[in-house]
Amino acid sequence: MTGGSIDLLVIGGGINGAGVAADAAGRGLSVCLVEQGDLASGTSQASSKLIHGGLRYLEHFEFRLVREALFEREVMLDRAPHIVWPLRFVLPDADGVRSRLRIRAGLFLYDHLARRRRIPASRAIDLMADPAGRALRSDLRHGFSYWDCWVDDARLVVLNARLASSQGATIRTRTRVTALERGDEVWTATLEAGGRREFCRARVVVNAAGPWADRVAALARDNAGPVGAQLRLVKGSHIVVPRVAGAEDGYLFQNVDGRVVFVLPFETAFTLIGTTDVPISGSPADAACSAEEEAYLLAAANRFLAQPLSRDDIVWRFAGVRPLLADEGVENPSALSRDYHLVLAGHSAGSAMLTIVGGKVTTYRRLAEAVMDRLAPLFPGLGPAWTASRPLPGGDIPNGDFGLYMEGLVRLYAWMPEPMLLALARRHGTGARDVIGDARRLEDMGALLPGGLSAREVRYLVANEWATTAEDILWRRTKAGLHGKMRGIEEAVASSVRALIPSA
Ligand SMILES: Cc1cc2nc3c(=O)[nH]c(=O)nc-3n(C[C@H](O)[C@H](O)[C@H](O)COP(=O)(O)OP(=O)(O)OC[C@H]3O[C@@H](n4cnc5c(N)ncnc54)[C@H](O)[C@@H]3O)c2cc1C
């Protein structure tokens, strides 16, 4: 990439970079997004996968963030009903952690801070009568239920990249920014991809490098100070076990240390348990779930579950690094704000660099709008906000009714096993028909792999979603890797996928 300059270079293909690229391109800017690895290969693949208001943030009086996040649940349900759906949470009473009155007050606020259309209200429940009680210790009688939303985080990133691309943005994966030089009017970024070096000239740089944001800011020397000081890295880990019997809802368990731990239904056959808050200072790329974190999560879940879990039950574990906004007055990493902060620097001569610090998957769209608001003075004639009412690719399901849409698919593709069709519909929404294409019988889908993946879908992901390795396909575009791992055939599945990828 050489020659003329573009309006915006977005560094980082996580949810925030992809969201900004889509918003900016749709408002008429020329945009290039560069990601050093695969899309969503940083923190955005390792979240708890919730579009949530964040009930516990109320305890830290983060009303602005909670209101915005609660509102986004409804927006995202409309925009992407294939990868976002309502999830009921059960919060059993826990002696000595929080009083019922305090929880009731928190849930009242949660119900009323933002308009709800499709999200039901919270209520008190009897765990002896409610089916959710089956997974819990039999002496647990009382609790509450409330609703948030589930999201496939890695696919949310890819769908935003696709939206950006459909609006004219260039998406470059496996492309790393190694230097940033500010000129009078434009930045010159050095990009390294596949051993080759190129240059990209851009009026404005958006640093959306998440936990790497201080390192990217340091590439442009005059920006390093403010960002480095504002970023605090906090690791969070999850463990995955086979689906806990009876646990079809999400659970919010209060731990003895006052933290809360999620126990969530995951990928039809699994339960996801997380998370932890561990401050780190090393490279975000080295973050891994430690034995202590595993033990912590098992103990937190076992306080409430009817059938205790052990280390032997764990089929997968992963860790991600939260790029949080530092606050000198706050020691406890769980208490650090999950809100975002934008640092605009170096714009005296017309070129600018905007660094994103913090943020959540839930609020990425609002964050992108805030970025556009900050950059608007630099781009006279910038188009208006547009993303709230625009479905993400595959999200144009009539009335957002995924169940009805699925019924139609079952009639149309009666030859396909329903679990495979469901997996396709969840991943691609209305795009499932493009994946199936001219296939008329199961054999036409090619080799069948775990998790409803087929050779035909692998080829589609390579052609349309920037997937270039087996890992991209098995762990981010799909979770087929997890299904293969569960069956002890992870390596065989990976090599089948590799064989389907051109030049892999
Ligand atoms: C354990 C955990 C649980 C969470 N749960 C939730 C949740 O349930 N709901 C929620 O809303 N939020 C949740 N979050 C928060 C959310 O995941 C993060 O805020 C969000 O993913 C951050 O996205 P990002 O785009 O800023 O960063 P990232 O996803 O890390 O993206 C930054 C990207 O920049 C790239 N990059 C870095 N340097 C360069 C370079 N020099 N050149 C090119 N590319 C570069 C990286 O490879 C990376 O992909 C959770 C976070 C954690 C850690």
Distance 401 CA to ligand 1 centre (A): 30
**What is the rounded CA–CA span in Å between residue 155 and residue 173?**
15
Q: What is the dihedral of CA 376, 358, 331, 228, to 10 degrees?
A: -70
Amino acid at 121: A
pLDDT at residue 426 in the model: 98
Mean pLDDT (10-residue bins), the chain, 504 residues: 83 98 98 98 98 88 91 97 98 88 93 92 97 97 97 98 98 98 91 97 97 93 63 96 97 95 97 96 95 98 98 98 87 83 76 92 97 95 97 97 98 98 98 98 98 98 98 98 96 97 78
The answer to pTM > 0.95 is yes
**What is the rounded CA–CA span in Å between residue 4 and residue 206?**
18
Question: Which residue has its alpha carbon closest to ligand 1 atom 48?
Answer: 42
The domain made up of 400-500 has a fold known as: Helicase, Ruva Protein; domain 3 (1.10.8)
Question: What would the two tokens of residue 279 be?
Answer: 């401050």
Helix, strand, coil percentages in the chain from 3-state DSSP, rounded to 5: 40, 25, 35
Amino acid at 323: P
Question: What would the two tokens of residue 202 be?
Answer: 């851009």
Distance 93 CA to ligand 1 centre (A): 32
Answer positive or negative: Cα dihedral of 172, 175, 176, 179: negative
Distance 35 CA to ligand 1 centre (A): 12
Residue 384 gets which letter from DSSP? P
Q: Give the mutation target among 262, 361, 475 for probing the ligand 1 site: most ligand atoms within 8 A of CB.
A: 361
Which residues lie below 8 Å from residue 312, measured CB to CB, with a gap of 6+?
none
Of 142, 5, 119, give the one whose Cα is nearest residue 51. 119
Distance 308 CA to ligand 1 centre (A): 32
pLDDT at residue 454 in the model: 98
Distance 20 CA to ligand 1 centre (A): 13
pLDDT at residue 327 in the model: 82
Q: In angstroms, how far is the first alpha carbon of the chain from the final one?
A: 24
**What is the rounded CA–CA span in Å between residue 423 and residue 451?**
7
Half-sphere exposure in the Cβ direction for 183 (13 Å, CA): 10
Q: Which residue has the tokens 């963030």?
A: 65
**What is the rounded CA–CA span in Å between residue 192 and residue 354?**
21
Question: What would the two tokens of residue 345 be?
Answer: 């620097």
Q: Where are the domains of the chain?
A: 400-500
Whether 70 lines ligand 1, by a CB cut-off of 6 Å, is: no
**Which helix (H) or strand (E) segment is 391 a member of?**
none
pLDDT at residue 224 in the model: 45
pLDDT at residue 347 in the model: 62
- CB of 301 closer than 8 Å to CB of 288: no
Whether 17 lines ligand 1, by a CB cut-off of 6 Å, is: yes
Residue 181 gets which letter from DSSP? E
Q: Which atom of ligand 1 is nearest to the CA of 276?
A: 1
Which residues lie below 8 Å from residue 297, measured CB to CB, with a gap of 6+?
237, 238, 239, 261, 273, 274, 275, 276
pLDDT at residue 504 in the model: 52
pLDDT at residue 3 in the model: 60
